[in-house]
Structures are given as C-alpha cells and as structure tokens.
Amino acid sequence: MFGSHLSIAGGLHQALLAAEALHLQTVQIFTRNQRQWTAPPFRQDAVLQFHSEASRLGFGQIVAHDSYLINLAAGDASLRRRSIAALAGELERCDQLGVGFLVTHGGAHGGAGETAGLRRMIDSLERVLKQTASRNAILCLETTAGQGTALGWKFEHLRAIIEAVRAEHRLGVCLDTCHILAAGYDITTERGMAATLRQFDRIVGRDRLRVLHLNDSLKPRGSRVDRHAHIGRGYVGLPAFSYICRQKRFAAIPKILETPKGFAPNGRLWDQINLDILEKLAAGKPVRIRSWRVEKGPARSAPADVP
C-alpha cells in the first residue's frame, strides 16, 4: 500500500484527488496549517466531501502528520501545555475525517537529557490520551534522526514510552528509513535492513509498526541529520527499499513517500518516479537510476503545506 504526503491546499479532498492521479492506494496529509498553533474548525461540507472521496477511492488507511510546532518533551511548561492541547486537537480532527493514523515526532529534551525528556514525553502523552479517550485514531510515534536533542532515535526510546503509557493500545510506531539510517542503524543492504527490523521487533514489538515512511537520505549513516532524498538517490540505497517492498508483512501497512516534490529533468513528477521505483522493487524487477544532478539543497522532512 503506497502513498505520499500530499497537499490539502484548495480543500482537504484535493490530497485525495492528487493521490488518485498518481494511482496511489493511500495518502498522508496535514489536517491544518502545520506551522500555526491554532486552526479553524472544519466546515461540515469539507468533511463530507473528504469522506465521500475517500470512500469512492477505497482509502481505508489514511495517515495524518501533526504540526511541527508540537514538542511533548519540552522543558518550558507553557510550550508543553500548548503542545498537549494541539495534539489532542489533531486527534479530534483525525476522527472527524476518519483518518486512522496520526504520526507525531518524539519531541526534544532541550538539553535536560534523555531521561528527563522521556519522562516529560510520557506525562504529556498520558494527558493527551486522557483528553481524547473517545477518539479512534492511533497515535504513531515516529523514529527520528536524532538531530539536536530529539528523542525517538533509538528503538529503546519508543519502548520506554509505550511501556509507561497506560493507554498503550492507542500507540503505534512510524518507522522512517531516512531517520533510522541517520540515527546510525545500518540498513544499506537487504541483510542490514532485515537485521534492523528484527531488532525493532525484539525491542518495540512487531505489532507496533503501523506506518512506514519511505525516504532515502542525503546524509550518511550516523550523521544525525534529517535530509530526505529521492528513492535510490541517497545513502539508504535500493536494497533496503527492495527488502521492505517485497515483505508480505508490510503489504497492508501504509508506506508513505516524503521525498522532495516537483518535476524531474525529464518532466515527470518526482512522486511518479519514486512510486514507479517502489512498484518495480515490489515486483522484483530491475531498477535503473538515471544520473541526474538533483537535490542541491536540503529537503524538508515533509512538504510545506498551507491549506
């Protein structure tokens, strides 16, 4: 099940129509402007149109990503309160749209240390889940590259959080290939990817993996830098993606592209090119990466998207 992070500019349903044009099976969206704390409530007609298009397309496992502003591990009490309220609001918006998974970053401890950061993260999640006890969306903790003081770059961080949260049945994990490479996990070969996934299964739990972000990396293993690249054009390389795409255990899991947007030198959308590569890998077909010079600047973790 392949998807991409697509824009809701012009209306929530526009992301679904763009996914249809790309022949995707799912989509990831922001449900609001991800760089602002507040968001107007959904118009009822917009919600109904989103439901109608999602039903028509048979999209049963849509993914949302939360705001970049949220930091559940923040030492500043005011920032944590705003983050808790914002994440609770995001879960409510997901429920309104019928979105099943909300991806959130692990927060940053800001210099207080991982132990203190994890403790604050756990407390914040407890508050969020208590406030949204009637909501259905699964909150997926995303693996991070470990940049700055970010948490979530080790599988042990995710386990510590999940084990400590009482409503742990409402938590899942989103594994990002760019991030785990940058964090130091060796996934540059099929063997390495398989070993890393076994490690994930042992530490976090096989059933916790609910979303995959398929991104190559502009920076090498262990760089602790989050810079996404097109599939096969970075330091992750094709073997890792080939392994993931051929695994039956991932067939029904949303596999989301967060690669840079725009057009390639041949005039095709990069999303189309990256999707074609993933589909060929899934089918066991050979893939040739054309030697274009691209990605001269840093790529965002996800595309900017102002509704």
Catalytic residue among 53, 66, 90, 142: 142
Alpha helices for the chain (secondary structure H) = 13-21, 44-57, 77-97, 114-131, 155-164, 177-183, 190-203, 238-246, 270-282
Catalytic residue among 32, 120, 157, 179: 179
Catalytic residue among 35, 169, 198, 268: 35
Catalytic residue among 213, 227, 230, 233: 213
The CA distance from 103 to 115, in Å, is 22
Q: Is 228 a catalytic residue?
A: yes
Catalytic residue among 90, 226, 271, 295: 226
DSSP for residue 249: G
Burial of 112 (0-12, 13-18, 19+ CB in 10 A): middle
Catalytic residue among 228, 233, 243, 305: 228
Q: Is 207 a catalytic residue?
A: no
Catalytic residue among 68, 126, 246, 300: 68
Residue 173, beta-bridge partner list: 141, 209
Q: Is 235 a catalytic residue?
A: no
Q: Is 35 a catalytic residue?
A: yes
Cβ atoms 98, 63 nearer than 8 A: no
Catalytic residue among 176, 216, 271, 305: 176
Q: Is 169 a catalytic residue?
A: no
Q: Is 65 a catalytic residue?
A: yes
Catalytic residue among 105, 127, 157, 233: 105
Catalytic residue among 258, 271, 295, 305: 258
**What tokens were used for 242?**
């080939």
Residues sharing a CB contact under 8 Å with residue 276, sequence separation 6 or more, in sequence order:
none
List the catalytic residues: 35, 65, 68, 105, 142, 176, 179, 213, 226, 228, 258
